Amino acid sequence: MGLTTRIYRETQGWPSEERYGLTSQIRRAASSIPLNIAEGAGNSSRKEFCRFLEIALRSCYEVITAAEIARSLAYLDDACADGLVDEVGEIAAMLVGLMKSMGGVRTGNAVA
């Protein structure tokens, strides 16, 4: 949830014309991470929980991509973009580790 708060704060100063573009996209992707983890945790099945963790992981990749786009547009400076990418990378690694521990990591179309 800390990442989501950080994203909201970082995007407050972005151009108003991005309100319904990149700002909205990165905010939705960032908030999707903890929301999908929470929703998945409420399921009684490991398989279903892993499905929600996968969605959260995809949202991590989306945030990383949006941060890189924001960097290229000079909405984020290099230090901020690097910090966000590193933080999201750590979250993604934790999600993968949790999915592995639950037997739900996918490799292509097969479960590893």
CB count within 10 Å of CB 47 equals 11
**pLDDT tens digits for 47-85?**
999 999 999 999 999 999 999 999 999 999 999 999 999
Determine contact, residues 59/37, Cβ cutoff 8 Å. no
Domains of the chain and any CATH numbers:
2-106 (1.20.1440.60)
Report the Cα–Cα distance between both ends of the chain, in Å, rounded.
28
For residues 49-67, one letter each, b for 16 or more C-beta atoms within 10 angstroms of the residue's C-beta and e for the rest, the string is: bbbbbbbbbebbebbbebb
Mean pLDDT of the chain: 92
pLDDT confidence band for 106 (50 / 70 / 90): low
Residues paired with 111 in a beta bridge: 106
pLDDT for the residue 103:
84
The yes-or-no verdict on residue 109 having pLDDT over 90 is no
